[in-house]
Amino acid sequence: MKSAKSIVLILFLSSSVNAQIDHYWSWNFNTSSALLSGAVVGGKPDVSSIYYNPALISKTTEESQLAVNASLFTIEWFNYENAFGQGFNLKKQDLQIQPRFISYTGDTKKGAKFEFAFFTRNSDDLTVLFNHSENVDILSRPEGDEVYTAELQYKTSYVDRWFGFGISDKSQSGRLSYGLSTFILYKDLRYEIENSMLAFSETDSMVINGVQLPSYVASYGNRESIKSWDGRISWKAGIHYQINSWGIGLALTTPSLQVIAGSKSSYELNRINIFDNSSSNPAMDSTFVSVQTGQSFQLKDPFSVSFGVEFNNPKNENAILFSMEYFHKITAYNFTNYSPSESQGTNSDNFSENDIDRINVFHGANSVLNFAFGYHYYINESISALGGFRTDFSNLSKFIDDNPTLRTIAGLNYDLYHVTFGGEFHIKKLDFVAGVEYSWAREDNEQQIINFSDPLEYIPDTGAALQGIRTNTMNINYNALSLFIGLTVNILTGGS
């Protein structure tokens, strides 16, 4: 049996759990913009304008500002029904604590305003462990039941930190403002997955074709590790125009460019004593091990354009806001570059270039259009209530559908939705915000991560061993509750 089929299973296992790198709008900052769900491209400037629309930096405050925002606490609840087989669910609760946003805003000598900012744009940390054991008849040659054990271990951590400098100025009338931001990006990814499946007889020996043999053990497993970092640079340009009670904003973000990067990845696959009943032949034992260092790791960012409007009611100073952002697609590219020539495996010569293409990890994204609504309710000079809603569509769902043979790191690609609510408080020279965000996702009839509930010895169509055929019976239920806390200090009076 050609060994190409022996590795197709890894397409499934390595794309098993979502690291949430497939969402562009999952995170925002502990400022008023967060409570407005990021619907601030057309108005409501604050210290996060360097990211949403740098043109609004010049419309923040007439004072220098230091923003030091507290951590964001997020509690997540995962419930993936039938994720590992019928009745084998993934249930998990996580607590995430993420440092958020620090910035300083000041005036130039020529009247423009500048801002430095350091923030975490995206971050995730997830660990999954699942194991199963039962007595079941899987193997065709030994008679009777075997002991069947299966285990899946997955761990991923990802952080995307940005350091930015922005500058903004406005026309003499004050209606038109324009700005530019430069960002240095640091992305760090740690990814490990290990799967092992065994089926063995509990007897000391057995007879196969008249020959007495020691206890028979069949196994199938793989292990992969990726440790990578990537330094990149990106630019954002924005304009804003105020027409009486209406504000209109537009911002363009360039694709990020790689400056420096490094990575180490390893991949291991083994299959032993698996029998192919469809051909009455043993499936070829296979072992493949490859380790690579110094390869060019990239986690690209797309071109995007955002547009927003704001309407301020002149009677009561309440405001309605709307923003939308289009993210362009990213063409598929190699995350890893495993090579047969660099393999330390005992049977590596059985692997062709096509086989390696199936082992390698790819990344890419389809185009996405997200939108957000916000509402600012003015109570008095010191207190305002803010709320919002935004979509957070997966950029990998359609990409995976269009490229079914490519392995990707993120695999459970569900669309997220976020609702925010909180208050903004002005106390002398302090601006304080506090609020909550509720996030959720629902997806039914998704394909299982893997099927341990109906194991087969060998599946010729895919090369999978010691597991069942995956079915579209997984239901995804995700919920998260986040707490926002932010503080901005107005340091100096006066200004331009």
CATH code assigned at 94: 2.40.160.60
Kindly state the tokens that stand for 472: 């579209």
Whether residue 311 is contained in a domain is answered as: yes
Whether residue 198 is contained in a domain is answered as: yes
Report d(CA 294, CA 228) in Å as an integer: 9
Whether residue 495 is contained in a domain is answered as: no
Residue 27, pLDDT score: 78
pTM value is: 0.86
pLDDT tier for residue 361 given thresholds of 50, 70 and 90: confident
Residue 269, pLDDT score: 80
Coil vs helix vs strand at 238? strand
Kindly state the tokens that stand for 423: 């208050």
Neighbours of 485 (CB within 10 A): 16
Residue 473 pLDDT exceeds 90: yes
The DSSP-derived string for 274-328 is -EETTTTEEPPPEEEEEEEES---------EEEEEEEEE-TTT--EEEEEEEEE-
Q: How far from chain centre, in Å, is Cα 254? A: 20
Q: Among 3-12, 50-59, 246-255, 281-290, which stretch is predicted with the lowest mean pLDDT?
A: 3-12
Residue found by looking up tokens 């909550």 in the block: 436
Report d(CA 416, CA 409) in Å as an integer: 18
User: 98 CB contacts (<8 Å, ≥6 apart)?
Assistant: 27, 71, 72, 74, 120, 123
278-304: average pLDDT:
77
In angstroms, how far is the first alpha carbon of the chain from the final one? 77
Report d(CA 263, CA 230) in Å as an integer: 9
Q: Is the distance from CB of 1 to CB of 102 less than 8 angstroms?
A: no
Residue 12 pLDDT exceeds 50: no
Whether residue 270 is contained in a domain is answered as: yes
Per-residue pLDDT tens digits for 248-269: 999 999 999 999 998 888 888 8
Domain count, the chain: 1
Whether residue 138 is contained in a domain is answered as: yes
Whether residue 496 is contained in a domain is answered as: no
- Residue 422: closest CA among 39, 35, 26, 48: 35
Residue 172 pLDDT exceeds 50: yes
Whether residue 72 is contained in a domain is answered as: yes
Owning domain of residue 179: 3-490
